[in-house]
Each structure stands twice: as structure tokens, then as C-alpha cells.
């Protein structure tokens, strides 16, 4: 993918990295559904240069009141770089999106999630 460093003009689909971490795979199995909301958040400081934007899944409301968000992975490096202007303009939130597909077998510590990232307005 060519990096343009321009805000998204249309939806973009990508696979979330880091979902093979057992704790994240468990979150995906328990809470992730097609259409679930996600937020792309800048990580300060990034744990690794290629993982500067995390993908956070909205989980069921705690005590029916406050929605909780759990990190399920990060954006691929090339796509994260293309969102740099949006991430520079915001303290934390870079973009929003939704889960498109999920693969999370029950007896395995891995998951694969793809998300649709919506245009930044």
C-alpha cells in the first residue's frame, strides 16, 4: 500500500495486528461481533514504532451504565502512517470504525479480526 499521509476519503478495510496475543484473543471471542464499534487511538508513547495506533473494541456496558473499551490489537504500520494527519490533530482518538469479520476458534489462543475504518471528518 502506498502511504499518502492524507485523511481517509472513503472507508478502508484492514486486518488488525496483534490479535494472536492470548489475552486479546479471549477479548475477541467474548465480546467481538460483526458490526461492533471500534476506535483507533494513538498510543503515547508507542510500544513499538510500527504499533503507534491501537484498535479498541467497545464491550458491553459495565453495570449497564458506562461502555468499556478493550484493546484488541493495532493497525498495520503502513496504514497507521497514512492516518498520521488525523492522529496529529487529535490527542488520542484518530478514527472510528466497525468490525467486519472475525475468526476466533474456541480452543486456540488466536484470533483474526478485520475492521472497516470510516472516513475522518
Domain span at 56: 37-99
Work out the number of other CB atoms within 10 angstroms of the CB of residue 47: 11
Please identify every stretch of the chain with a pLDDT value under 70, giving residue numbers as ranges: 1-9, 45-51, 64, 84-91, 119-121
38, three cell numbers: 471500534
29 and 106 Cβ atoms separated by less than 8 Å: yes
User: Does residue 65 fall inside a structural domain?
Assistant: yes
Q: How many domains does the chain have?
A: 1
Whole-prediction pTM: 0.80
User: Does residue 16 fall inside a structural domain?
Assistant: no
3-class secondary-structure state, position 73: strand
User: Does residue 29 fall inside a structural domain?
Assistant: no
User: Does residue 117 fall inside a structural domain?
Assistant: no
| pLDDT score for 121 | 61
| pLDDT score for 93 | 83
C-alpha to C-alpha distance for 26 and 21, rounded to whole angstroms: 9
The CA-based diameter of the chain, rounded to the nearest angstrom, is 44
User: Does residue 104 fall inside a structural domain?
Assistant: no
pLDDT (tens digit per residue) in 37-71: 999 988 876 555 555 789 999 998 777 677 789 99
Work out the number of other CB atoms within 10 angstroms of the CB of residue 45: 8
User: Does residue 87 fall inside a structural domain?
Assistant: yes
| pLDDT score for 79 | 81
Comparing CA positions, the residue from 57, 18, 54 lying closest to residue 38 is 57
| pLDDT score for 91 | 63
User: Does residue 89 fall inside a structural domain?
Assistant: yes
User: Does residue 7 fall inside a structural domain?
Assistant: no
Amino acid at each position: 500500500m502506498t502511504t499518502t499521509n492524507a485523511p481517509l476519503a472513503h472507508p478502508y478495510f484492514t486486518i488488525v495486528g496483534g490479535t494472536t496475543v492470548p489475552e486479546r484473543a479471549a477479548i475477541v471471542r467474548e465480546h467481538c461481533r460483526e458490526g461492533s464499534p471500534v476506535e483507533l487511538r494513538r498510543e503515547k508513547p508507542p510500544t513499538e514504532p510500527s504499533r503507534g495506533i491501537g484498535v479498541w473494541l467497545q464491550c458491553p456496558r459495565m453495570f449497564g451504565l458506562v461502555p468499556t473499551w478493550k484493546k484488541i490489537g493495532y493497525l498495520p504500520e503502513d496504514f497507521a502512517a497514512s492516518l498520521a494527519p488525523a492522529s496529529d490533530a487529535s490527542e488520542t482518538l484518530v478514527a472510528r470504525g466497525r468490525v467486519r469479520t472475525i475468526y476466533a476458534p474456541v480452543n486456540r489462543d488466536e484470533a483474526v479480526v478485520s475492521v472497516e475504518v470510516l472516513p475522518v471528518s
